[in-house]
Every structure is written in C-alpha cells, then in structure tokens.
Amino acid sequence: MIARSMAAHEIDVTYNLFRQYCLEAAEVKPELDEQWDKTSVIETIRERNIHPEYVWINLLEGSRPVGFISGSITQCPWNNEIYYAHIELIYVLESHRNINNFKMLTDEFEQWARGMEATVISAGDIGIDTQRTTKLYESIGFEAGCFLTKELAE
C-alpha cells in the first residue's frame, strides 16, 4: 500500500470511491444520497488537485485506489501567519480498513500540512460512525474537540 497525491488518470475510480463513501454515509444520513450531484463531485475532486490550499491523496493497493483523504489549509483568523490544516474527507473501502491504512493516509496528510506550514490539524466527520472515527483519531495522537452540526430550517 502507498498513499500519494491523486494522479489525473485516477479521476473515475476516485469518483467511484467517493460515491461509495456517500452511499455508506447515506445509511445514517439518507439526505446525502439525495443531495449527490455527479458534476459537483467531479469538480470538487479536480479543484482539490489543482489549488494548493487543498489536497486529495489516494491510498493505493498496487495501482488501484482503495481509499482517500482530502482537506484544506486555512489561515488562523487572529494571525494570518499561522496556518491550520483540516481533514474534511477520509474513506477506505471496508475490505481495506485497518489502523495501518488509516495512519498511512493521515501521515501523508500531515506531511502535506507541514509543507504548507500548518501548526495544527483538525478533523471532522459527516456522521458515518463518529464514535469509531473519534477512537481512530485519538489512537494516532489527535485530541477530542468539538465538531457539531445543526440543520437550518428553511
């Protein structure tokens, strides 16, 4: 297994992995499947491979992507010389889920974040299994924080 920046020729299989992520998340949050828009997803994947403030890293078994991690870098609101990195998406096919693959993805993200001069990494979850995700992150040195969501009424 290796983790590295997504190659251009991996767009289709990366899209399919992202779709799997959404379908799994939709088991808990059905609205995610209803909101799925192929054009938006492809644009998101492309943008995160073009603009330096984003990153998209694939986990590969041989030449086949089996997972990904994606996130962004932002300036601290009270000091524009301090940068934070945020993991926004992480997914590994169920057949390849283990702590080593999770750590490989987060280590590669950390290396990118250091290269962008980030001093802190945060991570969020869209609610697939927040307890499992929290335990995974804590096992590799993350500290629990507060990441809450609220649906806004129309």
Structure tokens at 62: 């041989």
Where residue 11 falls among pLDDT bands split at 50, 70, 90?
very high
Residue 150 lies in a domain: no
pLDDT, residue 55, reads 97
Q: Is residue 145 part of a domain?
A: no
Q: Taking a C-beta distance cutoff of 8 angstroms, is the pair 14, 49 a contact?
A: no
Residue 154 lies in a domain: no
In a domain, 7, yes or no: yes
Is 116 inside any structural domain?
Answer: yes
* Whole-number Å distance between alpha carbons of 113 and 45: 18
pLDDT band at 126 (very low <50, low <70, confident <90, very high): low
129 compared with 78, residue with greater pLDDT? 78
**Which residue's structure tokens are 């590969």?**
60
Residue 20 located in a structural domain: yes
pLDDT at 125 over 80: no
> Residue 27 contacts by C-beta under 8 Å, 6 or more apart in sequence?
128
Domain span at residue 119 reads 2-139
Confidence grade of residue 148 (pLDDT, cut at 50, 70, 90): low
Residue 144 within any structural domain of the chain:
no
Cα end-to-end distance, the chain, whole Å: 45
- What is the residue-wise DSSP string for 115-141? HTTEEEEEE---SSSHHHHHHHHHHTT
The predicted pLDDT at position 42 comes to 95
Average pLDDT value for residue range 52-75: 96
Tell me the whole-structure pTM to 2 decimals: 0.88
Quick one: pLDDT at residue 33? Answer: 85
For residue 89, what is the domain's CATH number? 3.40.630.30
Give the distance, in angstroms, between the CA of residue 93 and the centroid of all CA atoms in the same chain: 13
Query: Is the per-residue pLDDT at 102 higher than 90?
Result: yes
Q: Is 7 helix (H, G, I), strand (E, B) or coil?
A: coil
Our count of domains for the chain comes to 1
